[in-house]
Chains A and B, each alone.
Chain A
């Protein structure tokens, strides 16, 4: 296995607070890697830096073996790195189908072309089929439930056929059935060759789905290993429970 994403000595300060502190880790190709840690440990900040939403104070990131000097969200997305957000950010005023089409990474020529071509509808339709959202295709995305929005956001960022998908708390605030649904979709996409990096607070899900698990605390990596190794790690227990 080779590493798909490499983060080296990443540091980010907000005023006096160091959100990410000399943090280094790798995501191996073909893995479902978890990034866990107590609230405020810098997981989302790390996500935002990796995907170009925030500028790091220092450190480097490489994706698919290439150094990303100035991460730009659009360029990264088009080169195969997708992400979702904690709050399920979708576009409420366009239809569910259009939410997928708009994320398909169309060319400049496509930009001037029809809003939805037959080709778009076919590809997006297949994705909706996979996520069992076909019945909602023509609804405004604003009419979806929170869980459905999370599914839609996940489905939409797969439209670019990504190599690596960063999921920020994919099951936060959704019902248990939806957690299972989400897990099933992650597994099926993983089986077809997509690598995942997941921030998640549902430890049961993390333990049965992810390997390896990376633990952050105060912006730095404190442990890395299989779920069992991490669960037994004294430093991890200390970070979560305090001593």
Chain B
């Protein structure tokens, strides 16, 4: 890890760790929780959608799985406290294991077909959530026991758990970049058949990326479910959640470490701002789309790759000029 990289990471996580101590208003903490949530979701999506080049649109299915997992276990007991957070690794593990056969079948397809196959998964899980009433409560929703946290700092535990999950997601992302898994995935993304032909363990690296990616998404879903306190199928297994994480990754830059986080830090506050400005109408979605379109037109590969390319080209020109 380069010195600048360490400084960047320590500063970023240091500021975020101290922030709730100084910032009191609940709405700000709430906004930060959702920003961290989407940063984590986008970072995890990036593992499969960015590095491997498999644009999954089914991640909200696993997000919902995590939410219901926590909801079902902690439905009635009062004073669960921090227990749901301690269960999260188990949630991630289960989602990761379930994802292996699903990924194995879905990744027989690629690109746009893969996107369609995975969005089908999302709607299948949503339908299950509506119809398995005995388990999920169906359209009535599923209540999760309210945690006994201090009302003045109610959001704080959720904030820190989201921050830890972001650290986990970014650590895996960093590990991918520095290991042969990342190198293999770069080859798979560019030309999977050729990658197979030079002996790369194609199926294994794809499944590793998919399992880690949806494992994290399910843990985030678990925290979200506990935070919301009530889980409805249309919000737990929501195409907008999938689209959110995809857009943020595209915006910040696919297959980069900081891109998905940058995308989330721009889009989540922007979305909240527009939602506030335009009130209860769904017009904020249009504004949201407009930002995305403008940035995609100006910086088609996302913010970070476009900027680093520009710096690279400038440096090259400077080297040439000095010759």
* Cβ-defined partner of B193 (8 Å) among A53, A90, A111, A157: A53
**Interface set, chain A 135-167, CB cutoff 8 A to B:** 156-157, 159-160
- Indicate whether A14 reaches chain B with its CB closer than 8 angstroms: no
The reply to whether B197 and A94 contact each other, CB–CB distance below 8 Å, is no
The reply to whether B201 and A93 contact each other, CB–CB distance below 8 Å, is no
Q: Which residues of A contact B205 (CB under 8 A)?
A: 111
Stretch of A21-29, A71-79, A195-203 that contacts chain B: A71-79
Q: Which residues of A contact B183 (CB under 8 A)?
A: 94, 98, 101-102, 115-116
Stretch of B112-120, B133-141, B160-168, B173-181 that contacts chain A: B173-181
Total A-B contacts with CB atoms under 8 angstroms apart: 83
**Interface set, chain B 182-216, CB cutoff 8 A to A:** 182-184, 186-187, 189-191, 193-202, 204-205
The reply to whether A160 and B178 contact each other, CB–CB distance below 8 Å, is no
- A115 in contact with B191 given A74-B200, A74-B202, A108-B201 (CB within 8 Å): no
Max chain A Cβ within 10 angstroms of own Cβ: one of B177, B183, B201: B183
Interface flags, A33-57, vs B, CB<8A=1, else 0: 0000000000000000001010000
- A105 in contact with B180 given A91-B186, A91-B191, A91-B194 (CB within 8 Å): no
* Cβ-defined partner of B180 (8 Å) among A114, A159, A160: A114
* Cβ-defined partner of B198 (8 Å) among A92, A111, A116, A157: A157
Nearest CB in chain A: distance from B313 CB, A = 11
CB nearest to B181 among chain A residues: A111
The reply to whether B198 and A102 contact each other, CB–CB distance below 8 Å, is yes
Q: Is the interface of B mostly helix, strand, loop or mixed?
A: helix
A111 to B188, CA, bound (A): 14
* Cβ-defined partner of B200 (8 Å) among A82, A92, A102: A102
The reply to whether A94 and B187 contact each other, CB–CB distance below 8 Å, is yes
Nearest CB in chain B: distance from A163 CB, A = 14
Nearest CB in chain A: distance from B299 CB, A = 17
A113 to B180, CA, bound (A): 6
A132 to B178, CA, bound (A): 27
CB nearest to B186 among chain A residues: A94
Q: Which residues of B contact A105 (CB under 8 A)?
A: 198-199
A135 to B196, CA, bound (A): 28
Instruction: Supply 22 A–B pairs (Cβ within 8 Å), ascending by A.
Output: A73-B193, A73-B196, A74-B199, A78-B199, A85-B194, A89-B191, A91-B195, A93-B190, A94-B187, A94-B190, A101-B183, A102-B198, A103-B199, A105-B199, A106-B180, A110-B180, A111-B205, A112-B179, A112-B180, A115-B180, A157-B198, A160-B198
B residues whose Cβ falls under 8 Å from a Cβ of A: 177-184, 186-187, 189-191, 193-202, 204-205
Q: A101-B183, A110-B180, A116-B183 are in contact. List 11 more A-B contacts (CB 8 A).
A: A53-B193, A73-B193, A73-B196, A90-B194, A94-B190, A102-B180, A102-B187, A108-B204, A111-B179, A115-B178, A160-B199
